[in-house]
Amino acid sequence: MTVTDQPAPPPGALLEQTLEAAGIGLAWVDARGRLQRGSACFRRWVGAAATLFDCVHALDKDKWQDWQASPGEPRQLALRGPDGATLQVEAQLRPLAAGSDGLLALVLNPLDERRERHAIDILQREVLEAVASSRPLQVVMDLLCRRVEAMDAGVICTVLEIDREGRVHPLAAPSLPASFSSAIDGEPIGPQAGSCGTAAWRREPVEVRDIASDPLWERYRPLAQSFGLAACWSTPISLADGPVRATFALYYRQVRSVASFHRRMVEACAQLCQLALQHEDSQREIERLAYYDSVTGLPNRTLFTDRAQQALQMSQRLDRPSSLLLLDLDRFKTVNDSLGHAAGDEVLREVARRLNAALRDSDTLARLGGDEFVLMLPGCNALDALHVAQKLHAALSAPLQLDSGMRINLSASIGISTCPDDGQSFEPLLKHADIAMYEAKQAGRNCSRYFLASMNQSLDERLNLESELRQALSAGQLQLHFQPKLALADARVLGMEVLLRWPHPVRGWVPPDRFIPVAEECGLINALDAWVLEAACRQLRDWAEAGLPGLQLSVNVSALRFVQDDVAAHVQQQLQRHGLQASQLTLEITERLMLDERGRPHEQLLALDAMGVRLSVDDFGTGYSSLSYLKRLPVSEIKLDKSFVRDLDSDPDDRALASAVISIGQALDLSVVAEGVETEAQRETLLRLGCRIGQGWLFGRPMDAQAMAQWLRSRERAPA
Ligand SMILES: Nc1nc2c(ncn2[C@@H]2O[C@@H]3COP(=O)(O)O[C@H]4[C@@H](O)[C@H](n5cnc6c(=O)[nH]c(N)nc65)O[C@@H]4COP(=O)(O)O[C@H]3[C@H]2O)c(=O)[nH]1
């Protein structure tokens, strides 16, 4: 039998049979949503419904208008059957050709499980793509909600984030007005906090069929009802065993329980939410590592550079100044090296906290590394910046008690540069603030300095000096000079101070006060002082071999070297190597070394004392002058600074200070050596005040080894 052998059924009947066989519903509808005709299948599904609004869940006039505007796009609808049952279908609207009275054909395919799975697959793929391309969390969640709502027009979807304090914050609620989101933003989760708040509290899904009667909604009922929400199912989302991070919820405008298709969909959506949150966490962690300092949590250099550049661009656009402050902690290295890195980190965290507390929200504070902090102050001119710097000094000035119980005093040196005068972009401003900060250090630390154009020159000078000093040390161009220490009463020679000299081929004699601080700063001081110690010991041996045995030398050692190097071991090695007695050597140290009464420097002082090496405190009276350390540490000599000696006879204050230092020495049984004795009158006054030993041009200027040997010999020959 062929097709043409049978009488053909009328075209309408043929179409009905075909649709029935394919399980497809077909209806014709006008622009106002009125159903004009429907296939048998369609009528079975919707009964006597007269309009689409009667048989499609949650379809209203606006949605119908939207739909007509993009008719070809498939939509997922929930059809309401005559018996109240719901049927999920995929619907496509097709405008008909001209002459069909503006009617539209509606083709409906029931969503069976396979189709549902396919729809969920598509949703998953789309959302995963958005996650993988690092779209912001809110955008991803918004997409998720919209896709879920597109699958079922009867559903309203929301995602809420739960913060650490257990408060909710809407991440996405695309089909609810913004007023809904703002009404619930910041509300606490709890045992009766609507579906979402309760789900987060209980850590389990909460299904509320009827918001109007469910006690969980008591507090939020008026709110939900004012937005036409009748039922809500919420699922908590957490990562691993962590706290609940979000809730994913489906709302319905009718009282109803959850459709089985929705359960499958929510399962998939909960996983997607988890993934998106995990991705967000990883992104944040990557960002934290890349842009924040791990010790203080402050922005690092990379982030600061970016923010500072933005602030400077804004400044220029608004034609207003901005200032940059570079803050460097004073003597932080000593804390770090002597008390350990944990204590150093503690100090840095506390500094960050204090600085932050003293700033305005619009300011940016960052840690550049080490003990350097930088601040960008938008809209702040040079004078305001100085006020801020003063506030920062004050914030740091309170003593800091470490976890170990130890109390330390903090201070910082601050350099200030201002845009546009000192530079228009970040790099020159930072460079100029750095130069100004160095000037603040030079000025005695714990102070602030503005950048001045003349400072640029001094930076270049410093850098040149540093490289030339390195060269001089390695080329053996440095020399030792010696200055005698004598008994003030009878001019007996008691020892000599070793003073480093740098005869520079172009600059002439560079004074140690000029190059020692540069060496300390660039890390050359250890090598420099080690060279001085070796050369001094060698000289003692050479003199002994040349018939000048048993001389005593005082060698200056920088406080930094005690922190960074093993001075005691080096001294022992040099004494042995050159066959010297420990009593022939005195180390001159500064008061700042004595402040750390623990740690490496302190241990070394004790070791040197045990060896029999004498310790002398240089420039006594100019620094901290704490008596307590003199009592506790093995010091045998203090040197009265030449600034007190200079005006001894004309300035009663200096005389009083000198007298006090001498009395301290006597009380603690320490030798007191007066420095810079230039006149006979000074010698007599010192003797009268009780000082027994002196050093200065009155007796002898610093001289090289050969001159010193001659000087010593001439005294041996001179009649007593
Ligand atoms: N006005 C005046 N000055 C006098 C008189 N007698 C001596 N002086 C100077 O006073 C300084 C005494 O040295 P200091 O207090 O240890 O102060 C030293 C010391 O702190 C440091 N220094 C020198 N050599 C070394 C060294 O080898 N290592 C380290 N770390 N520092 C050194 O450099 C500082 C300056 O050394 P110098 O320029 O050699 O200056 C020396 C010396 O030349 C005097 O009667 N009148």
By alpha-carbon position, which residue is closest to atom 36 of ligand 1? 512
The DSSP annotation for 375-400 comes to EEEET--HHHHHHHHHHHHHHHHS-E
Name the token pair of 686.
């010192």
C-alpha to C-alpha distance for 519 and 352, rounded to whole angstroms: 29
The ligand 1 atom at the shortest distance from the C-alpha of residue 532 is 27
pLDDT band per the 50, 70, 90 thresholds, residue 29: very high
**Which one-letter DSSP state was computed for residue 51?**
B
User: Would you say 208 and 226 are in contact if contact means Cβ atoms under 8 Å apart?
Assistant: no
Q: At what angle do helices 113-132 and 137-151 cross, to 10 degrees?
A: 160
Amino acid at 80: R
- What ipTM is given for this predicted complex? 0.95
3-state secondary structure of 598: coil
Looking at residues 483-496, what average pLDDT do you find? 96
The residue whose C-alpha atom lies closest to atom 29 belonging to ligand 1 is: 556
Query: How many angstroms separate the CA atoms of 232 and 224, rounded?
Result: 10
Q: What pLDDT band is residue 13 in, cutting at 50, 70 and 90?
A: confident
Identify residue 451 by its one-letter amino acid code: F
**Cα 483 to ligand 1 centroid, rounded to whole Å:** 9
Rg of the chain taking only CA atoms, in angstroms:
43
- Give the global pTM: 0.50
- The answer to whether residue 116 scores a pLDDT higher than 60 is yes
Q: Buried (b) or exposed (e) across 86-120, using 16+ Cβ within 10 A?
A: bbbbbbebeeeeeeeeebbbbbbbebeeebbeebb
Read off the pLDDT of residues 163-205 as tens digits, 9 standing for 90 and up: 999 999 999 999 999 999 999 999 999 999 999 999 999 999 9
CA torsion through residues 213, 214, 216, 221, sign: negative
- Alpha-carbon gap, residue 559 to 551, rounded angstroms: 25
Residue 525 backbone dihedrals phi, psi, to 5 degrees = -65, -35
Distances (CA, A) of 256 to 80, 173, 225, 250, 269: 12, 20, 15, 12, 20
Nearest CA to ligand 1 atom 23: 499
**Is 374 in contact with 368 (CB distance < 8 Å)?**
yes
Identity of the residue numbered 21: A
- For the cut 70, the answer to whether the pLDDT of residue 141 exceeds it is yes
* Tens of pLDDT, residues 417-428: 999 989 999 999
Q: Is 532 in the pocket of ligand 1 (CB under 6 A)?
A: yes
DSSP state of 691: -
Q: Give dist(CA 199, CA 232) in Å, integer.
A: 11
Name the residue with the closest Cα to ligand 1, atom 37.
512
Q: With 50 as the cut, is the pLDDT of residue 125 above it?
A: yes
pLDDT tens sequence across 198-223: 999 999 999 999 999 999 999 999 99
Q: Is 500 in the pocket of ligand 1 (CB under 6 A)?
A: yes
Measured distance CA(190)–CA(331) in Å, rounded? 52
pLDDT in tens, 506-562: 888 999 988 998 898 788 999 999 999 999 999 999 999 999 999 999 999 998 888
Q: Number of C-alpha atoms within 13 angstroms, CB side, residue 329? A: 29
Say yes or no: CB of residue 214 within 6 Å of ligand 1. no
For the CA of 641, the nearest atom of ligand 1: 15
Task: Count Cβ atoms below 10 Å from residue 122 Cβ, excluding itself.
Answer: 12
Task: Tell me which residue has tokens 């697959």.
Answer: 121
Q: Is 642 in the pocket of ligand 1 (CB under 6 A)?
A: yes
Q: Is-contact 473 524, C-beta < 8 A? A: yes
Whether the CB of 512 sits within 6 Å of ligand 1: yes
Per-residue pLDDT band for 4 (boundaries 50, 70, 90) equals: very low
Query: What's the CA dihedral at 8, 11, 14, 18 to 10 degrees?
Result: 140
Q: Which atom of ligand 1 is nearest to the CA of 678?
A: 45
Integer Cα distance of 72 and 624 in angstroms: 86
Distance CA(374)–CA(365), nearest Å, equals: 6
Q: Whose CA is nearest to atom 27 of ligand 1?
A: 500
- What spacing in Å lies between the alpha carbon of 345 and ligand 1's midpoint? 36
Atom of ligand 1 nearest to the CA of 500: 24
Q: Which pLDDT does position 434 carry in this prediction?
A: 93
Token duo for residue 454 = 């003349």
Report the pLDDT value the prediction gives residue 20, as an integer from 0 to 100.
79
User: What value does the mean pLDDT of the chain take?
Assistant: 89
pLDDT tens-digit readout, 309-318: 999 999 999 9
- Rounded Cα–Cα distance for residues 651 and 643 (Å): 11
pLDDT at 706 over 60: yes
- Of 252, 249, 297, nearest to 273 by C-alpha is 249
For residue 76, the one-letter residue type is Q
Q: How far, CA to CA in Å, does 395 sit from each of 350, 356, 447?
A: 11, 10, 13
The strand pair at 479-487 and 693-694 is best described as: antiparallel
